[in-house]
Structures are given as structure tokens and as C-alpha cells.
Structure 1
Amino acid sequence: MGEYTEVATPRLITLDALRGFAVMGILAMNIVAFAMPEMAYITPRAYAGETPSDLAAWALGFILFDGKMRGLFSILFGASMLLIIDRAEASGRDPASVHYRRMAWLAVFGFCHYAFIWWGDILFLYAAVGCVAFRFRDWEARRLIIWAIGLFTLGVAIMTMAFGAQLAAVRAADTASSSTELVEAGRAIRAEYASMNEGVATELALYRGGYLPILAERLDKADSPLIMLVMNFLETLPLMMIGMALFRNGFLTGAWSRADYRRVARHWLPPGLLLTLLVTWVQWRSGFDNLVAINAFLAWAAPGRLMMTIGYAALFVLLIQRYASGTGMARVAAAGRMAFSNYIGTSIVMTSIFYGYGLGLFGSVDRMTLYLFVIGGAAAMLLWSKPWLDRFLYGPLEWLWRSLARRSLQPMRRTA
């Protein structure tokens, strides 16, 4: 490697704090996947949906958090990716080499996270999609947004047709005029989705047990990160492109006026919330049918999720601008600077609490009570991140990722 001069650049508190809010907020939905069988994340009918409190907690998560914090995380990943590319160019390094090494190691981290810690990893997905997003780094903001909306719409259309066709087949099979073949197809689809609930007992036994059976199950399904990539590509890539655009036009760096951020929030948040409420009602009206829930999760809720994600971003920026000089916001920004360590650390802590090789609480905590664990997890991030960064330049995993990507140990401890 040739030598280069590192260009000193100030931290962008807006980006850091936004990332802090996102990494804390994503736990509000991930907590269900940590603590309950997988289908419980998608529908309360599968598990822990018997009481009004359970249903209220599900609705709260679905309406306010589901996909929105992950969406914000994806947008910020695109923005941070572009920031690092710009800094690499400014310091005389090859941006492609810098970027692809970072993505390669992120993919390794992601697969290890999936295999050895928790099945819900998104880092492998981000690494793979990030390799594609790099191709759009020189596009202007308007072009990025237009293409992102087009790709996002295409993804929603594909999911709607694919899973909507299954729903239509099941509905058609219930009519007297349907052909024998259609009736059989509809029954097969219905049986397949009904069998998802039967897997709950298997998951309860698995995650209440020891570590080695859980590890064996993950390694047996080693293609899961690739399946997740295929299923989420046309949502994640557009979100990263939007992040790149919003970094380019100054939205994510706090360069817009407060009036502009308020306008964006008013424009996007109410219609997104209304669409999300409608999808929530459709699921409730169906009795939380598994097939309806899958359609809602993968297709119908997506437009509302995107709108609310943009609206949330505007509101968060307004909040950050107002309290930028406060100690509380400094702690949020520190949590964001250590988002990688906090994300993986949360997985380690929560699986240790809920899985059988830890405290063994899997499947035994109701949905509303799980929010106490979310509050505790967020508090832990706020408590430890700033004191760590007061002594060290990077979070522990950020330092390791940086050292591996640069192929040399990076300085860690702050000097006086």
C-alpha cells in the first residue's frame, strides 16, 4: 500500500446522532425476534397475541417502529458510505479499494453474527448491497432519488404480485365455482402457512436449550443470509441510494432550514402513518391470518414505512439541531459513532438474556414487558458509549473493522 496523508475532518453530529437514534430504535422491533419464535415478529397470532396488552404492544411496534428504524439505518449506511468514499478520495486513496475491503470484512462480520450470535443479522445484507450502491456514488441527488423511488416501487410490485397471488389463490379456492386444480393449490398454500405456527414449539425447545444445537441449526441454514439478500435487495438498495442523495443535498448533515425539515415531516409522516394504520386494520380484520400478515409485512406496509422513515428523519434532525449542544445529545451521538459495536453488543446481551445458555427467558416474557428490555438496552448504549469514546478513538468493533480493512492496526487510545 502506498502512503497517504489522512485528512482531518470534523465529526458530523447530525449523522452521528441520527445513527444513535436508529441503533436504539431498531431494538424496539428486534426485541421480539430476540425473545420469541420468528413468526411472532410478523403476527401476534403465531405467539403471544392472546391478551389486549399483547395486541396493543404488537400494534405499537408495527405502527411506530417496524421497518422504520431499519429503514433509517439503511439510509444512514448509504450516507456514511458516501462520506467515507469522499474522505478516501480527499486523502489520496483509491475509493474503490477502500470501499470493497470494508464491505468484504463487513460481510464476514455479518455472517459470523448470523452463525454464532443471532439469526436476524443485517450486516451481510448491507455489505452485499453496499457493493452495488458504490456504482451510484457519482450520481447527483435528484437522479439518485428518482431511481431509488423507481426501484423501491418495483420491489413493492414484485412482492405484491408474488404473495398476493398466493392470497388470491386461497380466496379463490373457497368459492364454489373454482376448478379442482385451483382448490387443491389454494389448500396447499393454506396448509403451508398454517404449518408456520406448528414450528413455534420446535423453536421454543431449540432456543430454550444449549448453544451447540442452536449453532448447528444456523449452520444447517447457512444460505439464510443469501435468502435475506434476495428478499430485501429492492428495499435496501433504494434506501441506501436515498441516503446517498440526502447526504449530497445536505438533508442528513443538518444543512437545511428548520422550516424545510418541518415541511418534510408534515409532507411525509401523516400519509405514511395513515397507510400504516390501514394495513394494521387489515391484519386485525383478518384475524391476523398468516398469509395476510406476510403480505402486509413484505408488500403492503412498505410505502407507509418509507414515508414514515423520511418523516422520522426530518423530526430527528429538528431534535438534534435544537439540543445539539446538550449532554444528552452528545451521548446519543456517541452511541451512533459506536453503532456497529452497539448493534452486535445488543445481540450478545439479548441472546444471553433470552436463550437457554443464558437466563433462558425465551418465550416467557409478554410483548409489553419486552419494552422494558428495550429501554434498558438503549440506556446501556447511552451510558457506556460516551465514556468509552472519551478514552478511545473508536468503538471496539469499529476499530477492528477499520484495522482489518486497512490491513494494519489503527491507533486506538486517545492521546492528551
Structure 2
Amino acid sequence: MATTSPDRILVLDIIRGIAVMGIFSVNVVGMAMIEQAYFYPPGYGFGSLGDRIMWAANFILVDGKFRSLFSILFGASTILVIERGIAAGKDPWRVHYPRMAVLLLFGLAHFYFLWWGDILANYALVGMIAFIFWRLPVKWLLVAAAIALSAGYLPNMVMGGQQIAQYQAKAAPGASDEQRAALQELLAGLKPSEEALANDKAAHASIPAHFDSIMEAQPLRPFMSVFGYGIETLGLMLIGMAGYKSGFLTGSWKRRRYIEIAVPFIGASLIYFGIGAREVLRADFSPFIFFPWNQIYSGPLHPVAAIGYAALIILIFPKRGAIADRLAAVGRTAFTNYLGATIIGTILFFGFGLGLYGQLSRGQAWLFAPGVWLIMLLWSKPWLDRYRYGPFEWAWRSLSRWQWEPMLRTKTPGPPA
């Protein structure tokens, strides 16, 4: 999420732009309906062929993968911003920590006032930890990333597998009546009650209603996320740091090496998630099939897919061009586009706007995604032709430096950030 400067690295901006667009493809579902349906599709707003097609497409191509890519880019941008700060004679920590503190404020505002799915607060908090590693060479960054990701994925796989086995035992022919009753109660809880739906819709009537609901139900969620998926976020950021330092994410490698990464990494992801989608659809989203494929064993494939996507994007956009420039502009204003997408979602779904919350199916909600992508592509470049930063990038920069940053472009480019 770095801002515009004369020495931008084009390919980093392009990857970031594609990542922020991809993220909205899944986020829009979480904005449009109750949170339970985001994590278990049959919970609400699901049933038609279109819903299944859109779930499968996102499951195979997008879900978890573009968030991982975005997190990797955040790590790369962290190094980039620190290096530019050092070049300007600033201490690294004086550059980094004010940025993370301001980002945390934006993330908390995003979470408490607009949407439960904020990731900025997690990035800010984990980013404060990631700073410890930024001086490490590529080899040790990758080792640290592997340790962090293993610490995040392996316990989830072991405990999740054990939990599924326990549930299956309760469904076995020899299970007791008590076990069966407990299982039925658990399965019933996967779908929200009428009361829960009513309360959830009421919480989206207005921004104050959303704030009150959040404060009552999960006021510390942004901070607790560090203990949840924060270790995964750290691992992904470290991969990004290594990817930047090694030249992988800056497009410095030979094309053959990118092909050697893109083909097997993306291929492995498509095979795994393609088989998973088939099995889940065949089982009609049985929890015993859905959750292992979707939430227990899929985690390690997300960074694999993300790295493959990064390599593929670098191969597709080796130099500037009309499409590359548009995508790069989206990446340069990724902070604004990320928050702006939520603002659009708020207008679409909250009661003070169009009031569509809980009124659409999964597939119908997704149909807004291409329109939001188009808005990102249309506004970002013309804006940056006139202004140095996106609106929220400018605010982030000004607040973290505690000075009013110039916004309008000048004919003579200023010094690097």
C-alpha cells in the first residue's frame, strides 16, 4: 500500500492492484449477508445454480489466495518504504511505527463503523512485529516465514482433523442418542436462527446500529485477530520481504524462472481446489466434507497460489502499457480502493442506503464485484494524473508524518518518499 513517488516499481503496483480487486470478489459476500453465510455458504442466501457457480469460482481462484497475495505485497512495501526513509536520512523505526499506528486507527474505524471483515488493524498490529525481521537476509526471512506459517497451519490441521473425527463418530451407526442429539444441535447452529437474522439486519440499519452491535458482541476482535490468524499474516509478510529483497517481486528474475514458479504453483492450487470444489458440490456442502476442504487443509495452498499468481502477473506485464498502467494506478491507490469498496458496500447494503443487506443470494451479491472493479480502474489513473496520492493514502501519509503533505502534482517530480 505504498503511495505514489517518481521511482515506483511498476510490477509491485500491478500485483497490488490485481490483489485489491480480487479481495473484493469475496468481501462483497461478507458485506451483503450475515457473517455465518460467509464461512458456510448454505447458512443463508444460497441454493441456486448461480450461487454454486460463484462459490466454486471464488473457492478455486480467489478465496484466501488474493488475501495472501495482498499480505505478501504489504511485507514487500514495508521494506520499500523503510529503504526510502533511510535514503532520506530517517531512522527506520521512525518511518515504520508511525505508519502502523495510523493504519491501526484507520483499521479500527473501518471495523467499528463499517464492516466486521477489516484486515487493516491486523496488518498494522502484525506489521509492528514484522519490523523486527526486516534486516534479515532472504534465506532467514524464508526460514522465519516457514516457521510462522507452520505454527499457524499445523495446529489448525491437527485440531481441526480431530474435531471432524469426533463429529463423524457422533454420526456413526453405533453412536448413542446423546451423541446424535449433540451433533444435530451443532449442525443446526450452522444456520442462523430467525432471531439472529433479525438482529443482524437491525445492526445494518445504520452506522450507529453497526457500532452498537460490534461493541456489544465483539469489541476486541481486531486485537484478538493477532492471536488468531496473525501468525499466518506474519509469515506472508515475511515472504513478501524476501520476495522484494531477492528481486522476485520487482520483476528482476529471468522469465524462465517465473515460468518455473507460475506453472507448478498455480497448477497445484487449481488441482487441489478444483478437486475440493467437486467433492463439496457432490456432497451438497456436507459439513464433514466442506470444512476440511475449505478451512482445515487448504491454508498451506493459499501462499502457494499467491506466489504463483505473482509470477504469472509479472510474466503477463513485463513493461508499461495501457492495461498495465490502469492496474498499477489501482495498486498505487490500493488503500483508498480497499476502503472505498467498503464504503460502496455500505451504501449498497446498509439501511440508510439501498438497504440490500440480507436481500440477495451469494451469486446476486457477487454481481456487484465487476462494477466495483470498473470503478477502481476508471478513477485511479485520472486521479493520479492530477494528484500525487489517493485520498486515503494522502491522509495516511500526512498523519503518520504529522505534517500536511502536498497533494497536487508538480511539473518537476519531487524527491523519493
TM, length-normalised to structure 2? 0.91
CA deviations over 1:296-345 (Å, ceiling 9, x no partner): 43321112222211111111111221xx3212211111111110011001
5+ residue gaps, structure 1, are 1-7
CA deviations over 1:85-119 (Å, ceiling 9, x no partner): 11111211110121111111111110100001111
User: Aligned in 2, Cα 1:90/1:164: closer, same or farther, shift over 3 Å?
Assistant: same
Residues 75, 240 of structure 1: 8 Å contact kept? yes
User: Aligned in 2, Cα 1:146/1:212: closer, same or farther, shift over 3 Å?
Assistant: same
Is the partner of 2:47 in helix, strand or coil?
coil
Query: What residue number does 1:244 align with?
Result: 241
Counterparts of residues 47-62 of structure 1 (less than 5 Å)? 47-62=44-59
Cα distance in structure 2, aligned partners of 1:172 and 1:300: 20
- Equivalent residue for 2:119, pick from 122, 139, 152: 122
The code of the aligned residue for 1:218 comes to: I
Query: What residue number does 2:258 align with?
Result: 261
Query: What residue number does 1:382 align with?
Result: 377
TM superposition outliers: structure 1 runs of 4+ over 6 Å:
none
CA deviations over 1:147-196 (Å, ceiling 9, x no partner): 3123212311111223222222111223465689xx55x75465245323
Cα distance in structure 1, aligned partners of 2:151 and 2:280: 23
Cα distance in structure 2, aligned partners of 1:247 and 1:291: 40
Counterparts of residues 78-97 of structure 1 (less than 5 Å)? 78-97=75-94
Residue 407 of structure 2 corresponds to residue 408 of structure 1: no
Residues 117, 351 of structure 1: 8 Å contact kept? yes
Of residues 163-172 and 401-410 in structure 1, the stretch that sits farther from structure 2 once superposed is: 163-172
Of residues 376-385 and 195-204 in structure 1, the stretch that sits farther from structure 2 once superposed is: 195-204
Cα distance in structure 2, aligned partners of 1:93 and 1:235: 30
- Equivalent residue for 2:190, pick from 196, 201, 204: 196
CA deviations over 1:390-409 (Å, ceiling 9, x no partner): 11111111111111111111
CA shift for structure 1 position 236: 0.9
- Equivalent residue for 2:311, pick from 297, 310, 314: 314
The code of the aligned residue for 1:198 comes to: P
The code of the aligned residue for 2:381 comes to: K
- Equivalent residue for 1:21, pick from 18, 26, 49: 18
Identity score, percent = 39
Of residues 400-409 and 194-203 in structure 1, the stretch that sits farther from structure 2 once superposed is: 194-203
Cα distance in structure 2, aligned partners of 1:407 and 1:229: 27
Residue 341 of structure 2 corresponds to residue 341 of structure 1: no
User: Aligned in 2, Cα 1:308/1:54: closer, same or farther, shift over 3 Å?
Assistant: same
Query: What residue number does 1:274 align with?
Result: 271
Query: What residue number does 2:209 align with?
Result: 213
Residues 279, 301 of structure 1: 8 Å contact kept? no
Residues 42, 293 of structure 1: 8 Å contact kept? no
Query: What residue number does 2:415 align with?
Result: none
User: Aligned in 2, Cα 1:144/1:203: closer, same or farther, shift over 3 Å?
Assistant: farther
The code of the aligned residue for 1:387 comes to: P
Query: What residue number does 2:367 align with?
Result: 372
Residues 68, 308 of structure 1: 8 Å contact kept? yes
Of residues 266-275 and 280-289 in structure 1, the stretch that sits farther from structure 2 once superposed is: 280-289
Counterparts of residues 167-182 of structure 1 (less than 5 Å)? 167-175=164-172
Cα distance in structure 2, aligned partners of 1:109 and 1:318: 34
CA deviations over 1:24-69 (Å, ceiling 9, x no partner): 1111111111112212222321122212221111111111110111
Residues 391, 413 of structure 1: 8 Å contact kept? yes
Is the partner of 1:230 in helix, strand or coil?
helix
User: Aligned in 2, Cα 1:257/1:357: closer, same or farther, shift over 3 Å?
Assistant: same
Query: What residue number does 1:132 align with?
Result: 129
5+ residue gaps, structure 2, are 412-417
CA shift for structure 1 position 229: 2.5
User: Aligned in 2, Cα 1:397/1:133: closer, same or farther, shift over 3 Å?
Assistant: same
Residue 22 of structure 2 corresponds to residue 12 of structure 1: no
User: Aligned in 2, Cα 1:230/1:293: closer, same or farther, shift over 3 Å?
Assistant: farther
| Two-structure CA RMSD over aligned residues (Å) | 2.1
Of residues 362-371 and 244-253 in structure 1, the stretch that sits farther from structure 2 once superposed is: 362-371
Greater length-normalized contact order (CA 8 Å, ≥ 6 residues apart)? 2
Residue 156 of structure 2 corresponds to residue 159 of structure 1: yes
Residues 394, 405 of structure 2: 8 Å contact kept? yes
Cα distance in structure 1, aligned partners of 2:188 and 2:94: 48
CA deviations over 1:210-234 (Å, ceiling 9, x no partner): 3332221012221121233322122
User: Aligned in 2, Cα 1:60/1:212: closer, same or farther, shift over 3 Å?
Assistant: same
The code of the aligned residue for 2:189 comes to: S
Is the partner of 1:317 in helix, strand or coil?
helix
The code of the aligned residue for 2:280 comes to: Q
CA shift for structure 1 position 79: 0.1
Residues 201, 358 of structure 2: 8 Å contact kept? no
Query: What residue number does 1:45 align with?
Result: 42
Query: What residue number does 1:141 align with?
Result: 138
The code of the aligned residue for 1:211 comes to: I
CA shift for structure 1 position 285: 4.4
The code of the aligned residue for 1:125 comes to: N
The code of the aligned residue for 1:369 comes to: Q
TM, length-normalised to structure 1? 0.91
CA shift for structure 1 position 203: 5.5
